[in-house]
Structure 1
């Protein structure tokens, strides 16, 4: 399937500046807001070949800023893979992902326009031991490169081994052990060490439970221990997630997500833990109109207890509507509000974004 989309959005605080921050001093310009026009093209599809299946999910887009036009760029995101099958007992996946984007201004000061490229490849194999038990193993290699903040360039390798049990009625429970090494490629001027990064090992218990035809529960709970190459004591962190969906009536679907995970290693020098709480609702008002609401809160804190003063909390609300003009054409509109409260007052901000787009599927 091919998709073509043309969108426009207005952001009243593009660079996520605090209320007390003078935009002229930070930006050299007194305008905080901007309007962005963004064309987007996408290809999504699956192609079965005998017992094999190939898939692609890729898009390219071009944000065009009407005031700060030095920010214009071409970005992309692509995921490609092969789901393989050998005999009745062996299956797996080979996949590759590639993304080029502009670093978020939530953590990047104005004056630093930082494009980054993230690439990853994964090989996974599953062995069906019997009707209930399956053993799995995978290795994933990823890297990230920045145009400007090159001290965040990294290479990472992650290995996993797991065992999953199925009930035959849709429920699954499994355990997964993992080991990973992440190494930053560039040294910091203030840090004289041979290697910079960390090694991490962990174990997770995962489950999926279809409570009824209209209610689904899933999640994980785990422990991760990681140690920096630079030295120091190892750190232990609890991670996990709880996901639930419920359809109280045919047209309404509710979703709940509670999770604790690590921050993106390619966007911040200090490793942090994110606690996320999210509620979603989607309602098919008519055969042509869908309504969506999202409320989310994220609390971030340093993953090492000896680091203080970097905590923050972000609250986010979004309301959207889709109207199907034609079976292949959908009009979309949304409004969102976001606010962050941080230990560092210069990191506080609030922003409001309005957007609309026209989406065609062929």
Structure 2
């Protein structure tokens, strides 16, 4: 496991070094912003259990740098952040976090444009799926995404894209996976700021290790094929709608009774209600994966996110979210004839930000989260309170 983790670290660092080297000649006019921060978080159910909850307080100190580099018409965003987190009681969970990212937005001529981004993160695994585990497991994730679009007429364009994800957790071997997806979308501009299209996508998910059930080993690898119609509309400078509605077919390598075929969709609507406030609404039903779970998951839900700049220095935001999860790829339920796990999650978050000065910002966030499940050991609820301060250096 440690060798695999080092491989992830080396590969991500190599990619980020290539990005840095490619922008070595960027002009001085570009912006580079180092910063430092501190945060305190109180969690009233640290280990995500439904009985004997334990409260704890996390204190974190960190520093990082954000950079915007401009090379002619190309824009490159780079970021690096390092953090030390300690717990008041569960000091065996003390750890370091690292986040690295790079994004390139590129344009060639008048017809080609696209983007490429890579993110690497080291932290500890959550306790969301481990009701009986209270020890620290280090987690490393490496994700990337890229797209290229070509406009071959004033109204028609075609976009190709790809996404990858790699997860490695020290002592949870069944959770490790590699995900690779690619898609092609053909779009037609029907009028001002309105586009319709057709999108075809394929995603392959390979779990690093098979699930062991008795004397059997079962692969949870699967492929997901999606055919969708797409719609994009900007009614005015104050509203925007993006929709994807289609059909999903999921096929497993083994235990094909876990396969899924059904409707898949995502709708996002953004409404700029006033000059200082906005409302974002999302509705979805998708076949996906979740970190730390070796199973296909059918996720459907809705979220509402209002945001309000109360004054020039004080801002607020809120999120209401309902999410239903159907673990269709559960190998144990399929092989042993049990009932597949189904979760229902309700969460509310509230955030406030105050710009003390041009370089110092104070923020507060509250989250309340409740998960019901047909598997009682997977039920839990928690509340977290976070207070943080950040200073640009």
Q: Structure 1 length normalisation: TM-score?
A: 0.88
1:147 maps to which of 143, 146, 170: 170
Using the TM superposition, give the Cα deviation of residue 77 of structure 1 relative to its aligned residue in structure 2, in angstroms. 2.7
Distance 2:134 2:121 in 1: 23
Q: Give the aligned partner of residue 212 of structure 2.
A: 189
Distance 1:45 1:237 in 2: 43
Maintained 8 Å contact 2:328/2:340: no
Equivalent positions of 1:5-24 (< 5 A) are 5-18=37-50, 21-22=51-52
Is 1:215 aligned to 2:239, yes or no? yes
Using the TM superposition, give the Cα deviation of residue 123 of structure 1 relative to its aligned residue in structure 2, in angstroms. 4.3
Maintained 8 Å contact 2:289/2:295: no
Q: Give the aligned partner of residue 256 of structure 2.
A: 232
Q: 1:103 to 1:264 in 2, by over 3 A?
A: farther
Q: 1:152 to 1:322 in 2, by over 3 A?
A: same
Q: Give the aligned partner of residue 175 of structure 1.
A: 198
1:55 maps to which of 74, 77, 89: 77
Using the TM superposition, give the Cα deviation of residue 160 of structure 1 relative to its aligned residue in structure 2, in angstroms. 1.4
Q: 1:95 to 1:323 in 2, by over 3 A?
A: closer
2:222 maps to which of 195, 198, 204: 198
Q: Give the aligned partner of residue 159 of structure 2.
A: 136
Q: Give the aligned partner of residue 101 of structure 2.
A: 79
Which structure has more helix as a fraction of its residues? 2
Counterpart secondary structure, 2:92 = helix
Q: Give the aligned partner of residue 340 of structure 1.
A: 371
Counterpart secondary structure, 2:283 = strand
Distance 1:314 1:161 in 2: 33
Identify which range, 295-304 or 305-314, moves more after superposition: 305-314
Cα displacement string for residues 213-257 of structure 1 (whole angstroms, at most 9, x for unaligned residues): 222222211222111111425421322212122233322222211
Q: CA RMSD in A?
A: 2.4
Using the TM superposition, give the Cα deviation of residue 35 of structure 1 relative to its aligned residue in structure 2, in angstroms. 0.4
Q: Give the aligned partner of residue 292 of structure 1.
A: 317
Cα displacement string for residues 273-300 of structure 1 (whole angstroms, at most 9, x for unaligned residues): 1222111222222221112222111111
Q: Give the aligned partner of residue 308 of structure 2.
A: 283
Is 1:99 aligned to 2:121, yes or no? yes
Counterpart secondary structure, 1:107 = coil
Using the TM superposition, give the Cα deviation of residue 328 of structure 1 relative to its aligned residue in structure 2, in angstroms. 1.5
Distance 1:246 1:292 in 2: 14
Q: Give the aligned partner of residue 24 of structure 2.
A: none
Maintained 8 Å contact 1:302/1:308: no
Distance 1:263 1:115 in 2: 23
Using the TM superposition, give the Cα deviation of residue 192 of structure 1 relative to its aligned residue in structure 2, in angstroms. 4.4
1:327 maps to which of 337, 358, 361: 358
Maintained 8 Å contact 2:93/2:135: no
Q: Structure 2 length normalisation: TM-score?
A: 0.82
Kindly tell me the number of residue pairs found equivalent between the two proteins.
352
Structure 1, unmatched stretches of 5+, are 24-31
Counterpart secondary structure, 1:303 = coil
